[in-house]
Each structure stands twice: as C-alpha cells, then as structure tokens.
Structure 1
Amino acid sequence: MEDKCHIDMLGLMILCSLLTGSSGGTDIHVFSSDGGNVTLPCDNAPTGCISSMWIYRREQSSETVVLFKNGMKENGIERGERLSLVSDCSLNIYKATTEDRGHYTCRQLEDHRFDTSVYLHVLHVSPSSTQTEIRPNSSFTLSCQLYVYNVCSRYDIFNAEGVQLVWVNKAGVNLKPDPRFQISSSPQHCIITLTTTLLNEDNNTEWRCQITDTTDQVKTSVRYTVTYLAPAAETTQVNLVAVAVPVVALLTLIALIALWLICKKRARADNEAISTLTPVTPPADDVHGKKEDVAYAEVIISRKKFTERHNVQSNNEVTYATITGAGPRDEGL
C-alpha cells in the first residue's frame, strides 16, 4: 500500500512538472476566506504600472484573460467591478468567492523574467443542516473546503509547504482533542469536517476553520456561528407583546384627552354663572307716615334658561329674603 502511494505521488510530481513547465520562478500561494478582501502581490513592477499586465487563467483551461494592461483595467471583463490595482501594481479582489480561485500572473511586458506567478485559494464553510434543523440535541456537521486552482497546487500547499486545515473554537483552541467533536479530514480533497451533537449552550457559539502552516501561522480562517430559531410559541408571545404595548399607550392617551375635555367643559359651564347685585327701590312710607329703617337689596343669579331673584330686607332686628324663580315662561320678563 505504501509503495502504491509513493508511485502515485511520484506520478503526480511528474505531471505537475509537465503542466507548469520549468520557468525557474517562485510560485506564491495566497489564501482568502469566502467573502473576504484579498491582495495579490506583483514584484518588480515599474512606477505607475506602465509596462505591467495582470493575466488570469481559469482552472482546467489553457485560455487566459487579461485583467489589467499598462495600469488600465480592460473593458468588459467578468467581475471587473470587484477588481482594482493598488499603488505598487498589486491586484486587489473585493469580496472574493470560490469562483475567483485560479492562477494569476503579473507580467512585466519589457522582461518576462520578472513575472510574478500567484495562486489564489479560497476557503469556504457550509453546514450540512438547514436553518430549521439547527436545534439542541440534533446532530450537526460543518464542512470546510479549500478551493484550489488544480491538483498540482493542492500538492504544493499540503505537501511542499505543510499547510493543514484545523477546527478551533473562538479562543483559538484546537477542537480535535475534545471527545465531543468528531473531526475528519481529506487532504487530497482539501476538506475537513466537524460533527457534534448540539447543546442548549451552543446557541450563538462560534467555531472557526483555519489554515495554518508549519509554524502554526494562520493563513486565513472562516467563522461560523450557531444560531437557534426561536420556538413558535415564544415568537408569538413576543409578537403579541410588541402589538399590545403601542395599543395600551394609544388607549391611555385617548383617555387622558377625554378627561381633559370633560374638565374643560365643566370649567366653561361654571364660568357662565354670573352673579350680580343691583339696588332695589325701597317701598313707600306706610299709611301712618312712619318710615322703617330697613335696607333692601335684590340679588339676581343668571344661568342658562333660568333666572333667580332674591329680595333681601334687613333692619336692626330681622333680615328678610325673598327668592323668586323665573321659569321658562318668565324668561321674557
């Protein structure tokens, strides 16, 4: 079995040598997370990129696409809105996707000996479960895959450079020694999976798939946060509370306005009651010619559709009061 593996590896090395040629240059491997921004270097570029061009080769294709030439972006290129050059002629890719993986070359038009060959690899994480299936006590699997240019670049990064895929928690601790997690990997397919049974406390827990080299330096990583859907009953209760609060506030406001209007109406009615005091002509002398030392006063209280007259007589000994109520028929008097 080991002999067969060595023969396969030797055949792979020969195949890669034939495919890539022997330019004598150094290949640069760049790693990016799915959705992240990445910059591809360009060595020995002239000022202003006036004699530089960026070329892109798709996987399993001999055709190349010119992205930039003489510092200018080519018209009509695919994903052109996400590509740009920086001051040193490096190529910037905004929100890289797995479709951006491939072989990029920064070529110096005056001397091809200074070409920079860059292989872009993109790391992507996906769950095997749908959102509705992600809940406590259920089995959960995350698959992490590194999308590479071709089989030759896969051999280079996993064997020649010692790159490996690992699963870690938020604190960066490797999850493989933890018996709760089952970690399986397939370097020949650039895949590593994490399988576990979810617990209640795993809600909003973050796990990361990352690429490290022989010095444990992290090349890139992708985060995945476990999120549980709220139960239907809890969701309904939250919705009811959200509706009830503004309704209660509105009813309280209406009640306060109604109370204010009632108080205002009562105050207006009280202001309409006007009391006046008018002098009354004293009666004539009695038949004996005797004058009484009596003071007279008439009090008139006016209200809507009702008038009261109060005749008050006073002497030193007795005070007399006569109250006459005017009904609806007396209003004209």
Structure 2
Amino acid sequence: MDFTPVRNGMDFLLSAFDHLSQRGGEPGARDLKYAVLHLQAAVEVLLKARLIREHWSLVFSDPGKAKRTDYEKGSFHSCTVLGAVDRLNNIVSLQISKEQRQAISNLADTRNALTHLGHAGSVYAVESQAAHVLDFLLNFIHEELRPALSNEGQFVEMTMDQLRTRLGHIKALVTHRVQRLEGELKPLASHTVQCPDCQQWALVLGDEPLCHFCLTRFDPEEAAVWYSETHAVTDEISILLCPSCDRHTVAAGTSVAQDKKTRLDICFQCASDFTDWEVCEVCGETLVPPDKEPSTCDPCLTGRYERF
C-alpha cells in the first residue's frame, strides 16, 4: 500500500463522509463512531501534511529534538492537532480563525469521549461539528495543499468534487433543523447563546441550560466557565457570583442570539442580565444594582463598590 500523508488524509475524509451522508435517515451509532474517528484523523493528517511541507521537524512534539532518521522511520511523538493549528498560525503564518480552532477542538473532545467512554453524543451535535470542520478542511485543502501537489493533484481534485456534493447534503440537514427551530427559539433569543458542542446559537439558559439543536444539557457553572474560556474578550476569565442563584454562573461579556455584537453579563442558571450592575471592588464577586447606595457586601463584609 502507498498512502502518502495527503492520500491518507483524503481517504479518511471520504470514509467520514460515507458514514455521515450515504445512508438513508439519520446515521446510526456505528456510523457516528467512525465518522468522528475518521474525520478527526483526516484533520490531524492533513494539517500535519502542511506542516511537513514547511519543514519535517515541525510535526515532532519537540522540534528541537527532531532527528531525520526518526522521522523517516516514523518513530517519534508528534504534536497534538491543536498544536499543529497553532504552529500553522504562528510559524507558517496561516489564518486559521479562533472559531475554526474551536471547531477542531470540539471535534477532538468528541473523539476522545467516544474513544475512552464509548459515547459520541447527539447525532445533531456530530453533524453540526462535522459541517463546521469539513467546511474548513475543504478550503484548507484547496488553498494550502492542492497548489503544491504534482502527482497527487488530480486525485485530490477528483476526491474534492465528491466531497463538495456530500458536504452540501450534510449542511442541508443542519440548515433544515436550524430553520425548524427558528420559531421555537425566537422568543428565547435574549437568553440564548452559542452551544459549546454543536456551535449553533441554540443553548437556552436556565436552571438546566439546554441546547435546542443538539439536545445536550449542561451544568450552569461548567457552561459559564466554558464560555468565558473560549469567548473572553481579554485573557482574563470573568465569572461572577450571581446575587439570585448564589452560584458562580454569571459570565461577563456574553453574546446572545438577540444581539450577537453586544456583550452582556448574564447568569447561565437564572438567565438574569446584570450588565449595568456594580461589583464589589474588594471581593470582586458580588453584584449589586446600580441605584443601590454603597453598603455592606454580604460575602466580604465591606462597603465600597465600583462600576464593573
């Protein structure tokens, strides 16, 4: 068998599409399992193929200890898939966006859960994740891999034609579900955020935040922390104590479906908006109404507040 990195990656891609789009109705558990495993493998192989084109040592976990003999034998520890993304951005100067990186990270998490726990998650989440990653991959292959190929160029182009047709089918399934949910989600838009699993604007905040697209339920504190880590405007993670719930569930700087450009300070458990409230400058936790006179902060028992 003669599978170069590019041929190997394209073969994994074809297999992932087969499991997601060639059978009637929704994919079964086995189809989802192999779709996730093979799509994750395709991402990793194709990203690293681009790194190798820059320099073979960049695929080593520690390029400073890279040896050509180890590379030629395939006897080495390679970098992670997110490590490959960061090297492509920082060393090769590609423009892989934060959103694309997050989509790849979500897929990797699903693959790890499936491999170690035997659980792939919702079929809707997997299809949505796949659509985001596949969109990125097809552009990446066209712009970063295809132009430098000679002998494999025709093979890649033929495969790409097949993949574009199948991607259209998968995206159509996702779009159809989004459209069906529009009426249901419209009145909830003021407290609906982007789901960490499927990346659709369908995670409705409340006692048990539920994504109406992929039907995944989240713990409010975990969801708030995830949001702050992945969407923070600065490097600081801002999680505040909710005065109503008494839990650390207020994520500062949250975007909601109703107005995706405005940043709100919203509780992921009770869905209350505390954007215009103030925070205790001593404990940095307790929120109070802006019209309240400076008084005692319950947690830290001090009296000074400042605008958050």
TM-score interval, normalised by the smaller of the two chains:
under 0.3
Higher relative helix content: 2
Higher relative strand content: 1
Q: TM-score, normalised on structure 2? A: 0.24
